[in-house]
Structure formats: C-alpha cells, structure tokens
Structure 1
Amino acid sequence: MSGAGGTDAETGSGLSIFSKYDPLKQRASVLEKVGVDPFDMTFDDIMGPTRGRIGNREIILAGTNNYLGLTYDEAAREAAKDAIDRHGTGTTGSRIANGTYVEHEQLERDLAAHLGKPSCIVFTTGYVTNLAAMAGLAGPNDVIFIDADAHACIIDGTRLATNKTTVRFRHNDPENLDRRLSRQAITDGGHALVVIEGLYSMFGDIAPIAEFAEVCERHGAYLYVDEAHSYGVFGPTGCGIAEAQGCLDKIDFYSGTFSKSLASVGGFCASRHPEFELLRKVMRPYMFTASAAPANICAAQAALDAIKTRPELRHNITARAAQLHAGLAEMGFDLCAPASPVIAVRRPNEAQAAMEWNWLLKEGVYVNLAVPPGTPQSSCLLRISVSAAHTEEDVNAILSRFKALQDNSAEIMGEMMRRLQASA
C-alpha cells in the first residue's frame, strides 16, 4: 500500500481513500448526464450585478445573493482600488500579528455604531465569523441551542466549541425552544446560547426574532442571530430582521457577512456586551488566519455607507421580490415561503430540478440549484435571489422563462429521460 505521496493508494481491501465518496460520485454523474454540472460551472465574464456571460450568451443573474447590487457601485470600486494603491493586495498576517490596519478598526467602529452595539469584530469571511464566535463563546459547561435549519457554519461552530451539549429545536418555533430550555439541565455555572438566523438562505423564510428574544430573556439565555442574508435589506436603517421587528437591542450577538449586501468578502460579529472584545485573544479562526485584504475592507466600508444613506435600495428589492413572488405564485409554482429576497421553487426530485436548471440557463437565466443534504426537509429547489439592481423588466424576463419552463415541461422531462437512458 502506498503512502500519502502515492497517486492511487489502496488498502488491502482494494478500497482507496476516496471510496467513501462513491455515492456522491454516482449522484454527480446523474447531474452531468442531464447537462452542465451546476456545481462546477464557470462564467466567462461578469458584466454587472445582474448580468453575466457564458460563451456568447448574456445571462440574467438571479442567484448571486448580491442583494443591494453594490458589487459594481462606483464608490465601492473606487474604495477598493484606492486601498490597493495605498496598502497593497494583502495583509500577510493575522489580526493579532501585523494584520490589523486602521481601516479594519474603522469598519468595526462603524458597524458597531450602525447596530447600536459597543463591540464589533471583523473576520475574514462570514463562515469564519460564526465558526470563531460560537466556538469562542461556548465553554465546557455551556449548552448551545440551534435551529433545526441552521446553516453549515453554525453547525460547524458547535463542533469546534468545547461545550458538551448541542440541542436542536424545531425550525422557527419559539415554543419548542421554550420547552427545550425548560427541560435541559445546565449545571456547573454553564449558560445557554441560542443561535438562529434572520432570513434563512434556502427557503427564504423569516425568523420571529422578537419571540425568540422573549423566550431567551425568560430563561436567562444568550441570543445569537446570524443576519447574513438580511443585513442591509430589512429594517428602517438596514439593520436587518431584528431591527424590523423592534428587538435589535435584545440581541446579544449579531453576526453578518460582507459577501451579500456589503458587496465584498469578510464577516463581522457585534455584541451588546463589551466583554466580547476579550474573544480576540481566544478565537482560533480569528487568531490563526490572515486578516481581510484592504480592498475587501474598504469596499465593505463604502457599501455600509450606501446602506445608511440609500434607503431606495431596500425599497426596490422589496418591490422586485414581491413582483417575482406574486408572478410565480400565480403560475402555480410551489413556493417555500412568503415573499422575501430569497424565493425558493420546490421541485419533485433532484434529476428534474437539475434538468430544469440547465434549461433555464440555456434560456438566459441563472438561478441556484439546491439539493440535499444542503436543504431543509430534503427538498430539491430552484433558488432565486433578488437584487435591488434588478429592474421591473428583469423580473418580467425571469417570469417569462419560468412560464416557458412550465409550458415545455413534458418536452424537458422527455429529454431528461432520453439522456439518462442513453448513458445507462
């Protein structure tokens, strides 16, 4: 048996280190047979927040999470270019070494002020944010309670934490959380940390954060809310679902990402507890990774300024989401939640969803294909994310493609069966 340096190492049983992925390989082969692999496609050009190019075809982008359309905002682009001119392309160090620049600290102060919190820490990505903050907060005697539909980074945060117990409660169900908090014994000076999201990224459903906050207050639990998909989009000043529901001051820990409304790459966690600053010295994913590049930080700063000064962005995304949701509902599509910037269309199975995704792409519309295990309830979805940069005409064009998809369903399914049979 060859070692780690071998090219195709096998054990005495004849199985390679990759054999455990054989079921995944089989699933992937089915997706490839029906068309382009949705998880391995490349855009030849991105022409703006709502347009891309594949070969010679222009594509409407309807699956990018570019909620406010600020990736091509002039101020954000100029801020990024100026940061490169002044500071170069990267920091080459972590935040606790040489990786903290004045721009990192300024963005932390401005995010904290926007959210009305005394403390805010910026991280390299949104995923790392939850990984670091949750693991840093939960000690050996603490118990983490997470929503059943929690994002992968929240689940991974519980795995990195040193706590003994993680409890799942029913999705968006404050009463179920109340019962679980009542039943779960927390001893030896431990605490309860409840983790939910504001807008759930697959179905597009919204959490009743105010009700969760009441439950947490009643039990003395800490509430951690991930508003990655809702920061900048909801609330009078763009502070998310918690602000829209009037409970922003009740949130103990508020996390978000730069890769959605803030038009960059990075993440942040803000807290109403000044002691949160202590975690800079214990959070491993913060301490042992390079800090965000200056261009990313400055682009996010410019996007934050837009969130605070341009409420029309929120007005437009709300209008476009309502337009798209109403149009799809009128056609009879099975939609997973009420109107929000994330609109998920439920499909019968993985092969059909993949075939329809390919058909839409050929017709000039890019959406997300979402399949198990990354979806709630083992659902197969065509997932759409609306942008403030989408126009009424863009949404009408997307709706026209979905109507054509519906009208041509028999032909599309027949083609799928032919492809699968030919490759059998």
Structure 2
Amino acid sequence: MDIFEKCRSFNRPNILKEQGVYPYFRPISGSEGPLVTMEGKSVIMAGSNNYLDLTNHPKVKEAAIKAIEQYGTSCSGSRFLTGTIDLHNEMEQEIAGFMGKESALLFSTGFQTGQGVITPLVGKGDYIFSDKDNHASIVAGNMLATSKNAIIERYKHKDMNDLERRLSKISRDVGKLIVTDGVFSTDGDIAQLDIITSLAKEYNAKVIIDDAHSFGVIGSGGKGTGHYFGVQDDIDLVMCTFSKTLASIGGFVAGDESVINYLKHKSPALIYSASPSPGSVASALAALKILKQNPNLPSKVCANANKVRNGLRDLGFNVLEGQTAIVPIIIGEDEKTFAIWKMLYDEGIFVNAFVSPTTPPGMQMLRTSFMASHEEEHLDFIIDTFKKVGRKTDLI
C-alpha cells in the first residue's frame, strides 16, 4: 500500500474551500489592537489568544528590536552549549519571582514545554494521571513517557471522584504525577486545583499544571490558576507558553530549584533544541514587566468576555459556563458551524470554528476569546451580529 494514499484522498479542506466556508489558515495582513486586516478588509478579532493585546505594544516591539540589534536573530545553539544569553537568565529569574517559585527554565515553544517537562520526570512503573481534555502538548508528553514504560491514567474531565478512584488503587510508594491544564483551551473551564492539590497530598503525588490560558487572565495580578485558588505553594510545577499573554513565542516551567536543575540536564527537548531567540525572549520579558506594572489588566479581559458570554446567553445561545477569556458557543453540527462562521466573517467578525473530531458529536462550536483592548462598541457589535445571524439560521 502507498503510505501517501491517505494524503491524496484527503479532500475535506478542498470541499470547504469550494463552498467558501473554509475557516482555517486565513492570512492576516495587518493588526492593531482588536482590529485586524484580512483579505483587504477590517475585521474585529474575536478569536485571538493575545489576551492583554501586547503584541503591538511599543515597549514590547522596542525590546525585540534592541535584542536583535545586540544579539542577532538567533542564539545558534542549545541552552546546554552555546545558546544561553543573559536575557534567558534574566527572564527565568523574573518568571520565578512572579510565579512565587524558586527557579524557572525556558523552552523554545509552549508545545515543547509539555514534552520537555513530563517525559524526563517519569520512569518505568511511574504513573501519570492526566485529564482527558488536556492540551495536545501534555498528550504528546504523556505518549513519550510511555516509551519509558510510564503508565498513563486518563481521568474523566474535571471528575475528581474518578481521579481519586484511580489514585487510590496505586501504592503510595509508586511515583505519581497529576497533570492538568489550568484553563482548558477549548471550553475555557477551570481545573479544580483546590481538590487536585488536596488529593495529591493524600496520595503522595506531584502536581503539574499548564497555565497557557490562565497566565495573565485569572488569579491575583494574572498569576494563574494556582493563585486563583490560593494553592500556588501546593503546585509543584507550573508550565506556560509565551504565545498568549506574553506576546511572543516560547515557554517556561517554574518550580523548585532542584527539579529545574534536573530538567536542565535531563530534558531532550531542551538539550537538543536551539534556544529561544533573543527577540522572542526580550519581547516576552517586556510583556511580563507591563503585566506586573498593570495588575488590573486581567480583570478587563474577563469583564469583556463576561459581557459577551452573558449577552449571548440572554439571547438564547447555548454558551458554556466560564469565568475566563474563552467563550464557546455550541452549534452542534459541522456544516452549520462552518456556515455560521462564514456569515460572521462576512459581517466583519473573526471567530474560531471547532468541529469533529476536535469536539465530540453535538458539541461543535464557535470559540470566541477576548482581549483587554476590546472596546464596548466592539463587544456590542459582536453580540448584535450573533443575534442577527442566530435568528437567520434558527439557532435562536
């Protein structure tokens, strides 16, 4: 059999393009705050993870330019050898301090962070307890861990009884990691870290969270899910990406110095990858400093999301409950999701279409997300346009 045959027969994207409803890989030619230019027209961006709208902040851009002028465009090596610059060390110190941890370590991408942290920490016979809705970066780390004969237990999404049932079957003397998203990227719901950390203590497990969609959005000053629940000291490792709140690309993990030092010398994802580029680290560092100077910015993100969440729910849309920047609207069918996405886009709003197999049957959705810089006029227009489209399609 020709292994590429499945590629030649994969025609779903082409069909959607022919129908004019293909929602993916749409190029952006200009961006300024919540407005972007796509295909020659101005569109309200209601699908970005640029939560604090710092990607165009003058200080962030200036920091990136200065770093490139000083260090060049690349570090041309891994952190382990020739790829460490003083900006890496400065960012790690700033992150550790902000997160209330002893130490931190940078990775070249957020996706890489999950693989680079989980896999080195487990060995033969160790257990990983992973929420079934965890991000693909965690799933990839889990899969690599199985090559070391670690055992994966996937508990039902946010089901603490199922987690405890699985934990209770394993001896206290066996190595155990509980790994979860802080805020889940599809539904925008929040992991029950107060219960998770309590169970970890009871059953002698360690806790790793991925705060990609939490950092800069929830918790005191945007410090994430651990601070949201007041259990930051009970979380062993916090992973995160630069690509959302921190307006860049890269990732980090923060925790005890001994664990971070171990990862520095044992993580293949760190040792065998080129280090984060000077421009990306400098821009993330500048974004972090802006967040520290403006601790009320996260509340603006959530307030904007809540206005749309409540407005759409009042109109009769099936909106998932939440308290974060992510507002998912359930449509329920692939074709209808694509059609409504296109109607919104034609009206001047960009959202994200999530269909099967990404979502379970009947849970196909339009995922919206909001920034601190969305103005009342943008939010009102989004609500009014959803109302117009929803009635036209008998969704409400």
What TM-score do you get using the length of structure 1 for normalisation?
Answer: 0.89
Q: Match of 2:13?
A: 28
20, 23, 35: which one pairs with 1:38?
A: 23
Tell me how far 1:29 sits from its aligned partner: 3.7
- Cα root mean square deviation, aligned: 1.7
CA distance in 1, matches of 2:130, 2:330: 25
Contact 1:122 1:266 in 2 (8 A): yes
Tell me how far 1:323 sits from its aligned partner: 0.5
Equivalences for 1:13-412 in 2 at 5 Å?
16-21=2-7, 25-43=10-28, 45-161=29-145, 162-184=148-170, 190-272=174-256, 274-375=258-359, 379-409=363-393
C-alpha change, 1:401 and 1:50, in structure 2 (3 Å) is same
Contact 2:332 2:362 in 1 (8 A): no
CA distance in 2, matches of 1:18, 1:320: 46
Contact 2:197 2:231 in 1 (8 A): yes
Secondary structure, counterpart of 2:220 in structure 1: coil
Contact 2:331 2:364 in 1 (8 A): yes
Letter in 2 for 1:136: P
CA distance in 1, matches of 2:361, 2:284: 34
Contact 1:34 1:355 in 2 (8 A): no
Secondary structure, counterpart of 2:388 in structure 1: helix
CA distance in 2, matches of 1:373, 1:215: 32
Letter in 2 for 1:195: V
Tell me how far 1:138 sits from its aligned partner: 1.4
Tell me how far 1:377 sits from its aligned partner: 6.2
Contact 1:34 1:354 in 2 (8 A): no
Structure 2 alignment gaps of length 5 or more: none
CA distance in 1, matches of 2:246, 2:133: 24
Tell me how far 1:285 sits from its aligned partner: 1.0
Q: Structure 1 stretch 394-403 or stretch 333-342: which is displaced more?
A: 333-342
Contact 1:142 1:191 in 2 (8 A): yes
Q: Deviations over 1:84-103 (max 9, x none)?
A: 11111111111112111000
CA distance in 1, matches of 2:204, 2:368: 38
Contact 1:143 1:163 in 2 (8 A): no
CA distance in 1, matches of 2:33, 2:357: 29
Letter in 2 for 1:201: S
Letter in 1 for 2:189: D
Q: Which runs of 4+ in 1 moved over 4 A?
A: none
CA distance in 2, matches of 1:249, 1:306: 24
Q: Deviations over 1:287-341 (max 9, x none)?
A: 1111111010010001111111102311211211111101110111111222420
Q: Structure 1 stretch 147-156 or stretch 371-380: which is displaced more?
A: 371-380
CA distance in 1, matches of 2:22, 2:284: 32
Secondary structure, counterpart of 1:401 in structure 2: helix
Q: Structure 1 stretch 147-156 or stretch 33-42: which is displaced more?
A: 33-42
CA distance in 1, matches of 2:165, 2:8: 41
C-alpha change, 1:378 and 1:57, in structure 2 (3 Å) is same
Structure 1 alignment gaps of length 5 or more: 1-10, 413-424
Tell me how far 1:49 sits from its aligned partner: 2.9
Contact 2:221 2:298 in 1 (8 A): no
Tell me how far 1:279 sits from its aligned partner: 1.4
Contact 1:144 1:166 in 2 (8 A): yes
Secondary structure, counterpart of 1:297 in structure 2: helix
Identity of aligned residues (%): 33
Q: Deviations over 1:233-292 (max 9, x none)?
A: 111222112101100000001000100000100000111353331111111111111111
Q: How many residues are aligned here?
A: 393
Determine which structure has more spread, i.e. the larger CA radius of gyration: 1
CA distance in 1, matches of 2:257, 2:162: 27
CA distance in 2, matches of 1:168, 1:409: 38
What TM-score do you get using the length of structure 2 for normalisation?
Answer: 0.95
CA distance in 2, matches of 1:146, 1:55: 41
Secondary structure, counterpart of 1:70 in structure 2: coil
Tell me how far 1:56 sits from its aligned partner: 2.7
C-alpha change, 1:103 and 1:388, in structure 2 (3 Å) is same
CA distance in 2, matches of 1:376, 1:124: 32
Tell me how far 1:47 sits from its aligned partner: 2.3
Contact 1:227 1:255 in 2 (8 A): yes
CA distance in 2, matches of 1:33, 1:56: 20
Tell me how far 1:36 sits from its aligned partner: 4.0
Letter in 2 for 1:318: C
C-alpha change, 1:243 and 1:398, in structure 2 (3 Å) is same
Secondary structure, counterpart of 2:55 in structure 1: helix
